[in-house]
Structure 1
Amino acid sequence: MPLSADRKKQFRALGHNLNPIVTIGDKGLSDNVRAELNRALDDHELIKVKLAVGEREDRKELLEQLSALPGVELVQQVGKVALLFRANPKPNPKLSNLLR
């Protein structure tokens, strides 16, 4: 289910103080990057991802790939940083960026 505008606004406010957890380089979404991305989304639910890719078209394609991952919602993209959300049915209150 897509996020409502109000929910995205709340997530953008929470994401403002976050630092990028995952950096994706020129090689794109390798298996190791996917595994780290899934781990980070399971732990934190709301994460920033740095897209260290030079061309705007490559970043756009990478964002489409990220949005196609199961349950992942693109909340915001500013320059080379994207804010991603995936709900965890049993979040850890010590790790979740939504519960802290």
Structure 2
Amino acid sequence: MKLKGKQKRYLRSQAHGMRPLFQVGKEGLTANWLKQVEDAIEKRELLKINVLQNAIVEDEEVIEYIEDNSQIQVVQKIGHVLVLFKQADKRENRSYSLEAAKI
């Protein structure tokens, strides 16, 4: 699902009150970490991750790794926090994508 500007704005507003579920730390990025993020985003569609100060990778590297190795889109980056979105494959897990599609 390719997002338009208004859809991204809607998703950012929905993610505003969320707390980050995942962190990128001194262990960096691994395939196992990405698999866990993909599993969580399949159930939620929208989540936040936090890139810690002691991470061995920069924020831009995290964005590139996520977008190159999965279908997850980075909706927003504020400081060291990233907002991620991916439309759920199962219909019963879709909530944000249905609302975004109406926009």
**Is TM > 0.5 for Structure 1 vs Structure 2?**
yes
TM-score range, shorter chain: 0.7 to 0.9
Contact 2:25-2:52 at 8 Å conserved across structures = yes
Distance 2:45 2:27 in 1: 24
Question: 2:86 — aligned with what?
Answer: 86
Aligned partner of residue 58 in structure 2, secondary structure: helix
Structure 1 contact 21–48 (Cα < 8 Å) conserved: yes
Q: For structure 2, list consecutive stretches of 5 or more residues without a partner in the other structure.
A: 99-103
Runs of 4+ in 1 over 2 A off after TM superposition: 96-99
Q: Which has the higher helix share?
A: 2
Given that 1:42 and 1:91 are in contact with CA atoms closer than 8 Å, whether structure 2 keeps it comes out as no
TM-aligned CA deviation for residue 97 of structure 1: 6.2
What is the one-letter code of the residue matched to 1:70? S
Aligned residues: 96
Q: Aligned-pair RMSD on alpha carbons?
A: 2.1
TM-score by length of 1: 0.81
Q: Which ranges in structure 1 are unaligned for 5 or more consecutive residues?
A: none
